[in-house]
Structure 1
Amino acid sequence: MIFYHIGHMDAQRIGLDWRSEFQRLEGAYAPSTMRSYRADVEAFEDWCVENCIRQPFPASVETVCRFLEDQGQSRASSTVQRRLYAIRKVHRLLRLPDPTYDEDINLAMRKVRRARSIRPRQAKGLTRNYLDSFLESEPDTPWGLRNRAMLALGYELLTRRSELIALRNRDIVERADGTLRVLIRRSKADPYGQGRIAFTSKRTADLLGEWLSYRGPEIEWLFCPIYQGKVIDRCLETTTVRRVIKEAAQRCGLRAEQVASFSGHSMRVGAAQDLLRRGFDTAAIMRAGGWKSVNVLARYLEKAEHNVWA
């Protein structure tokens, strides 16, 4: 095993400085990634305190191995892997000797994966039959106008919730046939913002038109909050998308466990499943949704034949 030694004052300085050094990452990573990195490093710090390890950084190979194996007792392997990346990032930012590439680290991660071979939880697909019922359930209020347009657009564009709330007026172009051409500028699989083009149906274009007529031209964001009946010029939180879907599921009388299985990702999952049922091949679905990984898409599609309105 490799051990690193550092003076007490330097240890205190490093413990404080990793947070300030993380500011260098702003703009290079998505805000959600930054939040995860910070939470993961803090989890490692807290674990060190609980285990009487006075010096989290620089970490020894032995300490990191113990942390990973301990986390693997209660966390998914993907979470443990992400925490390893966060520990690695701190060492690199602070220009400290990095223990995370040691072979013992690889062995520790293999143990974690083999011990907890749990399939990732898959969001329930918001397929077309669910979508139609959810749209009908929305009330005739400003919130209902917005939510109908948002659900219909998110489904047809196969967007992640972060992509949906990031849309702005300039990203939408009306076509001669009344449908819309939409530029999705940035996504998880497109960190540099090259974007992808997607198209809507006439129905979704009409629903969006009704919402925009209420919202007015002065708001930059396609979807925005509404407070006491008045629109606010800022984008929605990603949690709003999830809440809108779950509230619609409740209004439609779905069982509690069904409501719980829907998430902000459900529109993307359900649209992909519907495309498969309609006979589109994997390559076409990947292009439509901007997927880079066949394995990720395969998890969405494997339950397509079982996703029945009931």
Structure 2
Amino acid sequence: MKLAQLHQDNASRLLIQTLQRIEGAYAPATIRAFKADFNTFIIYCHEHQTVPLPSQPFVVSNYIDSLSDGKFTSAYIRQILVSISTIHKLNRLEDPTKDCDVQLAIRRMHRKLGRSSKQVMGINRDVLNKMLKSTDDSLRGIRDRALLLVAYDTLCRRSGIVDLLIDDIKFILSENGKNKLISIKLRKSKTDQQCQEKWLHLSLSATAAAEEWLAKSEIHSGPIFRGINRANQISGNLGAGQIPRIYKKLAKKANLDCATIKNISGHSMRVGAAQDLVREGASMPVIMNRGRWSKTDTVMRYVEQM
């Protein structure tokens, strides 16, 4: 047992060093996933008195079998395997997930659980309008309206929404030349970690909502969207984890059914907007450009349950 504890301590120490080394090279959420997934694997190895780093293929194969008892989705198990694989490769260790026995365990897992991941509820235009009607004219209500409309127009992930800056706003004329519309520069996203940047264009309604929020909040620089405390005062930056909570709260106020509210996530706005684009007859290249997707199969997963 002392040897197993030594292996656990060594792996934990090496994991910490690895995560420190890759900071800035990966998105913070990705690093958090690496940490959580591999720490869970370390605990499993400790319980079975095996070495987590470097790990042997039979250990990973058995780990997959243990995770395939129905408590987890196949998508989540694949995420765990990516974390195990990445931590090994970052330490120049042989990747155990490439072994044929591990690949067989993955096939068993897929046959048992299926390959499809749980689809989140899409906030399409109809649902969005119901949520907008549930807002009031308080500072929080004004912020929430702007948040909903900007998120829908830009198809931003929750991390992208909270990273949008006032400093990156510019105004452009609409196609008819009668209205000024807001464009916001997206500095980076999940599929653009090299910060190539992209301009996101808002509709007339989203522009009006964003302008109202900025005027009422009296903020002139930094993040566009901020937290609001119980005293109805701006309290600082809005965390990415708060985005789905805001969506769910507004969905509840809009009297949406419990099943719908339960399946709303930080991706719901992207899913719903993509589904609306399909309904409107937009081509695949147009949809991929709007949502900044690099693979068509990702888009197809979003719209398959319309």
TM normalised by structure 2 equals 0.89
Q: Which one of the candidate residues 33, 41, 61 is aligned to 1:65?
A: 61
**Over aligned residues, Cα RMSD in angstroms?**
2.1
Contact 1:224 1:231 in 2 (8 A): yes
Q: Which of the residues 234, 243, 246 maps onto 1:231?
A: 234
Instruction: Identify the match of residue 89 of structure 2 among 79, 89, 92.
Output: 92
Aligned partner of 1:152 among 149, 169, 188: 149
Give the partner amino acid of 2:29. Answer: S
Checking the alignment, whether the CA contact within 8 Å between 1:15 and 1:57 is kept in structure 2 is no
Give the 5 Å matches for 1:65-214. 65-74=61-70, 75-176=72-173, 177-214=179-216
Task: Please state how far the C-alpha of 1:93 moved relative to its aligned partner.
Answer: 3.6
Q: Which runs of structure 1 show a deviation greater than 6 angstroms over 4 or more consecutive aligned residues?
A: 6-11
Residue aligning to 2:176: none
Q: Which residue of 2 aligns with 1:3?
A: none
What do residues 203-260 of structure 1 show as CA deviations (whole Å, max 9, x unaligned)? 11111111001222444111011232322343x1122211111111111112211211
Is the CA contact 1:175–1:181 (under 8 Å) kept in the aligned structure 2? yes
Normalised TM-score (structure 1): 0.88
1:282 aligns with 2:284: yes
> Is the Cα–Cα contact under 8 Å of residues 169 and 220 in structure 1 kept in the other structure?
yes
Letter in 1 for 2:36: A
Aligned equivalent of 1:308: none
- My pick for the range that moved more, 177-186 or 8-17, is 8-17
Q: Is the 8 A contact 2:15 2:35 kept in 1?
A: no
Identity of aligned residues (%): 31
Structure 1: state its 5+ residue gaps: 1-5, 305-310
TM-fit CA distance, 1:280: 1.2
Q: Using a 3 Å threshold, how does the CA distance of structure 1 residues 89 and 284 change in structure 2: closer, same or farther?
A: closer
> Deviations for 1:123-153, whole angstroms, at most 9, x for unmatched residues?
1111112212211211211111111000001
- SS of structure 1 residue aligned to 2:183: strand
CA distance in 2, matches of 1:10, 1:68: 20
Alignment of structure 1 residues 35-54 onto 2, 5 Å: 35-51=32-48, 53-54=49-50
Separation in 1 of the partners of 2:5 and 2:132?
Answer: 61
* Structure 1 residue 40: Cα displacement: 0.7
1:142-172 Cα shifts (integer Å, max 9, x gaps):
1111110000010011111111111001222
Name the counterpart of 2:260.
258
Task: Report SS of the residue matched to 2:44.
Answer: helix
Instruction: Return the alpha-carbon distance in structure 2 between the equivalents of residues 13 and 297 of structure 1.
Output: 41
Deviation of 1:289 (Å)? 1.1
2:250 aligned residue (227, 248, 251): 248
SS in 2 for 1:124: coil
Give the residue type in structure 2 aligned to 1:230.
Q
Q: Aligned partners of 1:139, 1:11: CA distance in 2, in Å? A: 53
Q: CA deviation at 1:7?
A: 11
Aligned residues of 2:65 and 2:109 also touching (Cα < 8 A): yes
